Amino acid sequence: MSFTQIRQAPARLNRSELAVPGSSPKFFAKAAQGAADIVFLDLEDAVAPDDKPQARRNIIAALNEVDWGEKVVSLRINGLDTHYMYRDVVEVVEGGGGRLDLIMIPKVGTAADVYALDMLVSQIEAAKGWKKRIGFELIIESALGMQNVEAIAAASPRNESLHFGVADYSASIRARTVAIGGANPDYAVLTDKDGAGTRQVHWGDMWHYALARMVVAARANGLRPVDGPFGDFSDPDGYRAAARRAAALGCEGKWAIHPSQVALANECFSPSEEEVGRARRILEAMAEATKAGRGAVALDGKLIDLASIRQAEALVKKAEAIGRP
Ligand code: GLV
Ligand code: MG
193 in any annotated domain:
yes
Q: Looking at residue 325, what is its pLDDT?
A: 62
Mutate to test the pocket of ligand 1, among 42, 140, 168 (most ligand atoms within 8 A of CB): 168
166 lines ligand 1 (CB under 6 A): yes
Q: Based on the fold, state whether residues 160 and 305 are members of the same structural domain.
A: no
Q: Does the model's pTM come out above 0.85?
A: yes
CA of 57 to the centre of ligand 2 (A): 22
- 52-95 pLDDT per residue, tens: 999 999 999 999 999 999 999 999 999 999 999 999 999 999 99
Give the CATH number, domain containing residue 233. Answer: 3.20.20.60
Q: Based on the fold, state whether residues 133 and 244 are members of the same structural domain.
A: yes
Contact (CB, 8 A) for 43 and 259 = no
9 in any annotated domain:
no
Q: Looking at residue 259, what is its pLDDT?
A: 97
6 in any annotated domain:
no
Q: Based on the fold, state whether residues 253 and 291 are members of the same structural domain.
A: no
Mutate to test the pocket of ligand 1, among 107, 138, 141 (most ligand atoms within 8 A of CB): 141
Q: Based on the fold, state whether residues 179 and 286 are members of the same structural domain.
A: no
141 lines ligand 1 (CB under 6 A): yes
- 286-299 pLDDT per residue, tens: 888 888 888 888 88
- φ, ψ for residue 159 (rounded to 5)? -60, 130
Q: Looking at residue 208, what is its pLDDT?
A: 97
Q: Which of 270, 289, 306 is the last residue in one of the domains?
A: 270
228 lines ligand 1 (CB under 6 A): yes
Along the chain (325 residues), what's the average pLDDT of each consecutive run of 10 residues? Answer: 91 97 98 98 98 98 97 98 98 96 98 98 97 97 98 98 98 93 94 98 96 98 98 97 97 98 97 93 90 86 88 92 80
- Give percent helix, percent strand, percent coil of the chain, each to the nearest 5: 45, 15, 40
Q: Based on the fold, state whether residues 97 and 196 are members of the same structural domain.
A: yes
Ligand nearest to the CA of residue 227, numbered in listed order = 1
1 in any annotated domain:
no
Q: Based on the fold, state whether residues 233 and 307 are members of the same structural domain.
A: no
84 in any annotated domain:
yes
Cα 279 to Cα 214: distance, rounded to the nearest angstrom: 26
Cα 320 to Cα 318: distance, rounded to the nearest angstrom: 5
Q: Based on the fold, state whether residues 182 and 280 are members of the same structural domain.
A: no
**β-strands 188-190, 16-21: how paired?**
unpaired
> Which ligand 1 atom sits nearest the alpha carbon of residue 139?
2
Q: Based on the fold, state whether residues 306 and 251 are members of the same structural domain.
A: no
139 lines ligand 1 (CB under 6 A): yes
Q: Based on the fold, state whether residues 42 and 121 are members of the same structural domain.
A: yes
233-253 as b/e, with b when 16 or more CB fall inside 10 Å? Answer: beeeebbbbbbebbbebebbb
295 in any annotated domain:
yes
Ligand nearest to the CA of residue 229, numbered in listed order = 1
229 lines ligand 1 (CB under 6 A): yes
Task: Specify the number of domains making up the chain.
Answer: 2
> Which ligand 1 atom sits nearest the alpha carbon of residue 168?
4
Q: Based on the fold, state whether residues 182 and 303 are members of the same structural domain.
A: no
7 in any annotated domain:
no
> Which ligand 1 atom sits nearest the alpha carbon of residue 106?
2
CA of 321 to the centre of ligand 2 (A): 29
Smallest CA separation from ligand 1 atom 3, residue = 165
79 lines ligand 1 (CB under 6 A): no
10 in any annotated domain:
no
Q: Looking at residue 205, what is its pLDDT?
A: 95
165 lines ligand 1 (CB under 6 A): yes
Q: Based on the fold, state whether residues 236 and 305 are members of the same structural domain.
A: no
Instruction: Report which of 53, 41, 40 is spatially closest to residue 14, judged by C-alpha positions.
Output: 40
Q: Based on the fold, state whether residues 237 and 283 are members of the same structural domain.
A: no
Domain extent for 52? 16-270
The Cβ of residue 157 has, within 10 Å, a number of other Cβ atoms equal to 12
